[in-house]
Structure formats: structure tokens, C-alpha cells
Chains A and B, each alone.
Chain A
Amino acid sequence: MDRQENYAKYQGMQGEPQTAAMPLERDTLRRFVQAIMDQDPAYYDEAYAAKTKFDGLTAPPLYPVHAFRLPADVPDPLAVVARDPSADGTAGIMGVSFGLPPIESPYRRLLNGGNEIEFYRSLRVGERAVAQPKYADVTLKEGKSGHMLLVTVETRFTNEAGEPLLLNRQTLIWR
């Protein structure tokens, strides 16, 4: 029988701050905004962006959550796919817990329980994003078909100077 006490050590646990491998580059931003299909000139038109409150090219508000890419000098994360046909291709991906140690539990099915995000500032071209994750809440609940574990990961994003960019609270449901 699973118990709430089994997860006490995770409550409020902070992870190591993660710094993006590279500062935001114009070309990365170009590809990103093409992919989200948002032609806001603040993202690509330098003359326009210079006259806005951003005072230069900036990323979309939620970009920092996607700023954490693999550096070039790590083992190829796709190598496992060639060896194992059942590998899903996610090896090495930062994921939603931003380097927090995984929670040991008997649950294997993961659902996204939703996000709450506050925005303060956008990441500028040339800046590097930093993520500071923590387990804000870990609660064991009795569901219709047994226990489920509700995990809220709260990640603060800043630039390298420590200026706040956004706060993302994501709830994960393990069943």
C-alpha cells in the first residue's frame, strides 16, 4: 500500500540550476517562430524591435522552456534508437523536470495535468536562459482506479543576470 510519507523527501526539493547550452541566436529564433507560425516582427525585424519595449529582437514569451538543447559534445541521444526499435527517441531530452531527480514510485503512466505560467520578461537575442526547478508539491491521491501521484514541478526561468523571465508550474499525474 503506497503512502504519502514515501514522497516526503521530494517535497520542496530543488534541482541544480540548468543553463542553456547556447545563448539565443537569431537563426534559432527564426526557425522557432516559423514552427509556431507567429510572424510578430518583434521576433525578426531589428528596426521594428528596437522601437518596442523590448528594445531589440526577443523570443516569444514562452520560448525559455524550449531553450535547453543538448550541447554538441555529449553522446548521440539517437544512437539508442538504432539499437532498440522500441526506444522512443527521448534519450537525453531535458524533459519537464529540468534535471530534478526522478521520483521513485510504482506508477508508469504519465499524464499532463496542466500548466500555470506567469510572464515577467522575454528572452532577448544574445541572452542565455537559466532554469531553476523544484518539486513544489507531491501528493498521493486515491483515484477511481487506484492511487495516483500528483507532482507539481515549479521552474523559475531567468537570464544569466538573474532577471526573471517566467515561472512555470506544471502538474504531472502519474498512475
Chain B
Amino acid sequence: MTRYYEDVQPGRELSALDKGPITPAHIMRWSAAVENWHRIHYDQTFAKEHDKLPDILINGSWKQHVLVQLMKDGLGPDGWLWKIQFRYKRMDVAWDALKGNAQVVEKREADGLGFVACRIVLLNQRDEVSTAGVGVGVLPLKGGRTVPYPFVPKPDYPVFALAAD
């Protein structure tokens, strides 16, 4: 369903998602899907003894797609995720349960489109920050034009002064 610029407000949630516990099977499925054979993601003996890690690690490369999904789903099929920036704040290991949240911080109109800046975060089951960042999306205005696709940013589009952490 279309989400319009007028539907989102600073201080409100844009979207949330819950990926639940990420088991060794989930981590292996990701490693296989992208053909990343780094052993810290599936070989527990190697992860603990060679890299001195507490357990096999959830891939940062997987977590970035979760942040993208969080913003994309919040913006809906007629919106566009323009920018995302993020930093990994802690390691997540097998059986950690990750959930994401995007909060609208600021919004502005330009060029007949609505620009929305959000703080985005992934938390573990102890509500510790796994990954934190900022997402900027583009939404149509009610009665306005559609968000162009492909999206070609113009130099005078809004710049939001939000740091990733």
C-alpha cells in the first residue's frame, strides 16, 4: 500500500521488523547464498580457537540487508530508499535475536517529493545496539507526482545533518 509523505511524522516509527533468533543454520544459509566461506561464520572450533571469538558470528553483510529491508518496507512500494549509512557497534553471535526499528527524525519537501530522514537501529535480545545508522527515503506527496524510478538525485535535494551514530 502506498505510503505518503503526509502519513509520516517526526518522532513516530516508520517501521519495525523482528528477525528472531539467528541460529547457526541461518548463518550458514547466508554464507552459502553469497558463497562466503569465511570459517568464523560456520566453523565453531575455528571461530573460538583461531579467532578467539565467543561463537560463530552473524555476518555484518547480512545485517546491512536487514537495515535496507527495514527502510524499504517502511517506505512502501511507491517510495524509494535513497540513502543509508550505518556502523556496526557490536558483534552478534549465533542464537542472538535481532530486531530493527526506524524512527522518523526529520522530513522536508523538495521538487514535488517528500524526503524523510530516519534513525535506524538493530537491537539484540538484551536491547543492546548491534548496528546503528541513518536512512533517507523519498515518498510521494498526496496528489503529487510519483517518485521517479530509476531515482536520479538532484544537487538541491535535502541534506539531513544526521550522524550514523
Binding site for B on A (CB under 8 A): 31-32, 34-38, 40, 42, 52-54, 60-62, 65-66, 69-70, 77-78, 81, 86, 88-90, 93, 112-121, 163-164
- Contact between A62 and B65 (Cβ–Cβ < 8 Å)? yes
- Whose C-beta in chain B lies nearest to the C-beta of A62? B68
**Residues of B32-79 whose CB lies within 8 A of A:** 32-40, 43, 46, 50-51, 60-62, 64-66, 68-69, 72-73, 77-78
Categorize the interface residue count of chain B.
35 or more
- Contact between B153 and A118 (Cβ–Cβ < 8 Å)? yes
- Contact between B39 and A116 (Cβ–Cβ < 8 Å)? no
CA distance A140 to B142 in the complex (A): 49
Residues of B within 8 A of A115 (CB): 64, 84-86
CA distance A123 to B146 in the complex (A): 20
Q: Mark B85-97, 1 if CB is under 8 A from A, else 0.
A: 1111000000000
Q: Is the interface of B mostly helix, strand, loop or mixed?
A: mixed
- Interchain nearest-CB distance for B9 vs A (Å): 24
- Contact between A119 and B69 (Cβ–Cβ < 8 Å)? no
Which 4 pairs show the lowest CB-CB distances between chains A and B? A35-B33, A114-B87, A121-B150, A89-B37
CA distance A39 to B29 in the complex (A): 16
- Contact between A81 and B39 (Cβ–Cβ < 8 Å)? yes
Residues of A within 8 A of B150 (CB): 120-121, 163-164
- Whose C-beta in chain A lies nearest to the C-beta of B62? A36
Tell whether A117 pairs with B85 under 8 Å between CB atoms, given A34-B29, A36-B66, A60-B69: yes
CA distance A89 to B47 in the complex (A): 12
- Contact between A119 and B151 (Cβ–Cβ < 8 Å)? yes
- Whose C-beta in chain B lies nearest to the C-beta of A48? B77
CA distance A5 to B149 in the complex (A): 43
Q: Does B160 contact A (CB under 8 A)?
A: no
